[in-house]
Amino acid sequence: MKSHDGDIIQNISERSHVLKKTGDLTPLFDKIGDSNIVMLGEASHGTHEYYTWRAYISKKLITEKKFNFIAVEGDWPDCYEVNRFVKNYPGSGDTIRDVLQKYDRWPTWMWANWEISALAEWLKNYNDQLEEGKKIGFYGLDVYSLWESMEAILNYLKKTDPASVEIALEAYRCFEPHKGDEGQRYARALQFVPDTCEEEVVGLLKQIRERSKLYDTDPENIFNVEQNALVAVNAENYYRSMLRGDEHSWNVRDTHMSDTLARLMQLHGADAKGIVWEHNTHIGDARATDMFREGLINIGELARKNENYQVFLTGFGSYEGTVIAGKKWGAKMEVMDVPPARDASWEYYLHQVGNDDKLLLMDEFHDSYLAENYLGHRAIGVVYNPAYEKYGNYVPSILPQRYDAFIYLDKTEALKALHLNPDSHKIPETYPFGV
């Protein structure tokens, strides 16, 4: 036993709250209080319980604390189709399964799954009781949808503003020679011919902003077309930043997600409240991890720095179980075993206290050894191989500084994916954790 093992186990034993039923989360909601941003993490993109517990928390925040929307680590165009479905907009689809067929980018299982289907059906039923303008939204924060966003802009302008179509086509034509591998070909081309498409996409965004007053009066349609233009601008920047290294593209991506969250808050008015679903690696404050030393920022850190927000960050983790992931980029999704957590990790110590699920409220650890010291914290990406657990998949973290609360689930199982065939050409380039 290591010298601090006894103290760590005693601290967790004395200060953790056992979770046996959803009602045991009352202390969490008390701590959330009047927060207007609540971020809910996950230690993998393929675990059933992370989705269902987040869904329960989100429903409570919506029904009891009047939160306005859920924003997820997903592509804007696809998630906007879910938003239209849950608000019952005309032509939005007969079933949520029809809508989720649009999620054809690998890894499809992240959002095309039964857990999201159930949440979307609940949102639709809940929204049916609300007046227009008050319905709960569902949005994507990510930056990967370059082609989908460009095509959405073209389709919209053809119907609404034909005079601007040529500017959109100029931007589209600039990228077209690089189409096929979701921007990576564009990034490689810049190594040899540094002629970017930045001017074209920035010009498109400027045109849309200048002429938006001519568009229809539906504020979400106007917001949607402008957001797609912003995705194009930031996607171009993201792929260009690949040339400078992982930390640059990671920071472009999380800054885009943070800016999108700010736009959504503005869209929903002065009293807006938003729920964010992303991987722990995005929502857990990067300053409390080794990411900080590598120059990486994330949306959780940026939200905490925003003086307009009262932020509450909740991480998730588990000791063992099963998960859906792929062995490599674009590989067939598999249900894989998640082995017992590595020795001396957060998940290891939480299990040593007992195999109950647990809630940790981090202000209760402020005077403990854990409040100042790094321990490994498991992070499983969409690419995963259980055999490599001892070498990677752990982020050194000071959890009481990284989160405001942490939900530990001792044993978890893989989520229930819809059996869609991912397009292997639509594989996003991400940080090595694959998150």
Asked if residue 52 and residue 68 are part of one domain, the reply reads: yes
| pLDDT score at 65 | 98
Asked if residue 167 and residue 135 are part of one domain, the reply reads: no
> Domain for residue 422, yes or no?
no
> Domain for residue 127, yes or no?
yes
- From first to last of its 435 residues, the chain has per-residue pLDDT tens of 466 888 899 999 999 999 999 999 999 999 999 999 999 999 999 999 999 999 999 999 999 999 999 999 999 999 999 999 999 998 898 899 999 988 888 899 999 999 999 999 999 999 999 998 999 999 999 998 888 888 888 888 888 888 888 888 888 788 776 665 555 655 555 554 455 677 878 788 888 888 776 766 567 888 998 999 999 888 888 877 766 665 688 999 999 999 999 999 999 999 999 999 999 999 999 999 999 999 999 999 999 999 999 999 999 999 999 999 999 988 899 999 999 999 999 999 999 999 999 999 999 999 999 999 999 999 999 999 999 887 789 999 999 999 999 999 999 999 999 865 554 445 454 434 457
> Domain for residue 257, yes or no?
no
> Domain for residue 255, yes or no?
no
> Domain for residue 430, yes or no?
no
| pLDDT score at 181 | 56
Asked if residue 80 and residue 38 are part of one domain, the reply reads: yes
Asked if residue 174 and residue 278 are part of one domain, the reply reads: no
Q: Contact, 254 vs 282, CB < 8 A?
A: yes
| pLDDT score at 193 | 45
Asked if residue 83 and residue 57 are part of one domain, the reply reads: yes
| pLDDT score at 52 | 98
How would you class 211 by CB atoms within 10 Å of its CB: exposed for 0-12, middle for 13-18, buried for 19 or more? Answer: middle
Asked if residue 169 and residue 124 are part of one domain, the reply reads: no
Asked if residue 294 and residue 220 are part of one domain, the reply reads: no
- Domain count for the chain, please give it: 2
> Domain for residue 300, yes or no?
yes
Structural domain that includes position 216: 146-247
Asked if residue 296 and residue 242 are part of one domain, the reply reads: no
Asked if residue 279 and residue 197 are part of one domain, the reply reads: no
| pLDDT score at 238 | 83
> Domain for residue 256, yes or no?
no
How would you class 191 by CB atoms within 10 Å of its CB: exposed for 0-12, middle for 13-18, buried for 19 or more? Answer: exposed
Asked if residue 104 and residue 59 are part of one domain, the reply reads: yes
| pLDDT score at 329 | 83
Asked if residue 115 and residue 27 are part of one domain, the reply reads: yes
| pLDDT score at 165 | 87
Here the CATH number for the domain that contains residue 374 is: 3.40.1660.10
> Domain for residue 426, yes or no?
no
Asked if residue 373 and residue 335 are part of one domain, the reply reads: yes
| pLDDT score at 190 | 52
